[in-house]
Amino acid sequence: MKVAVVGATGMVGEVLLHLLEARNFPVTELIPVASERSAGSNIYFRDKAYKIITIEEAIDQSPDIALFSAGGELSKEWAPRFAEKGTFVIDNSSAWRMDPNIKLVIPEINGELLTKEDKIIANPNCSTTQMAMVMAPLHRKYTIQKLVVSTYQSVTGTGKAAVEQMENEEKGITNTMVYPYPIYRNAIPHCDVFEDNGFTKEELKLMNEPLKILGDDSIEIIATAVRIPTVGGHSESVTMTFEKEPNLSELRKILHETNGIKLQDNPLTNTYPMPLFSHNKDEVFVGRIRKSPKNPKEVNLWIVSDNLRKGAATNAIQIAEIVERIITNRELKSIFNK
């Protein structure tokens, strides 16, 4: 495969390059793409130097697959142009997620829906992905009626400048502020911009994207997204209200047997998910599973995942692995585990 990585010098772009190598993706030619400021410099992939080029130059090379991680505005402009050339575009931005003509894909949930006609494929929001991974098997079994989620999101979700702000504040250095307040030793209930209804765009992504992925818009979701001074992953406190009362032993067994989920749920040994454990891992970690004392159909869970891995780059590479099989007309069934 001839593969372009658009946004190769960003945080997600760097992880994409690492995973292409770590997962032995069949890259015959790498096309690293970044801004004009970075163009001309080199990156290294599989011990070989590759010159970074601009997106204008990349489209002329007609890649088989283009992994976009450079923002929504760039994706809106350039993804259709790549698609017209026959390139499969896997986009990490929010540009195409809610487009009714574009599939929003988590391979473990709905990857089998992809076809050779899907030239633009949307990668979900990082917080959505880890939550939907847990929702999907439980919704199939018990039917989720309502879900309330509060997130505790790593500064890495904002990018390198946010990590620098946190590190500078920790050292007592005053520098560029990405957030409206200091993030070190703080929690900011403000991820993305506020909309007229009082929710932020990040919260609305959590409220809308899972419905599209699961193919069920009957679920009521309420979200509050909070930025905290951590790296290694996003955390979520989730309360699900089901139509059918779940048995917790059965529920835990379902999660334990779901591909891509790792159960960490033993309060007696202080075993529960944390960003400390999810950092640089591809799994979605789930624990603190308990029923509401007054509603046996209501279950509380704690979900953690590395937002740069399964929340972004890993999911994109998993989609690319499906696309590679579509391009080469190989069997898909073996890579799906329901």
Q: What residues act catalytically?
A: 126, 234
E strand or H helix that includes residue 125: none
In angstroms and rounded to an integer, the radius of gyration of the C-alpha atoms of the chain is: 20
Around Cβ 173, how many Cβ atoms within 10 Å?
Answer: 10
**Distance between terminal CA atoms of the chain?**
28
CA within 13 Å, CB half, 85: 16
Buried b / exposed e along 240-275 (16+ C-beta atoms within 10 A): bbbeeebeeeebbebbeebebbbbbbeeeeeebbbb
User: Rounded to whole angstroms, how far apart are CA atoms 277 and 186?
Assistant: 22
Q: Write the secondary structure of 194-227 as one string of H (helix), E (strand) and C (coil).
A: ECCCCCEHHHHHHHHHHHHHHCCCCCEEEEEEEE
Q: Please, which residues bridge with residue 261 across strands?
A: 284
> Which residues have CB under 8 Å from 314's CB, separation 6+?
15, 19, 282
DSSP state of 111: G
Residues in CB range of 62: below 8 A, 6 or more apart? 2, 85, 86, 87
DSSP letter for 1, please. -
Per DSSP (E only), the strands in the chain are 2-6, 29-33, 42-45, 48-51, 65-68, 88-91, 103-104, 120-122, 144-153, 220-227, 234-242, 261-263, 284-292, 295-305
C-alpha 109/C-alpha 337 separation (Å) is: 9
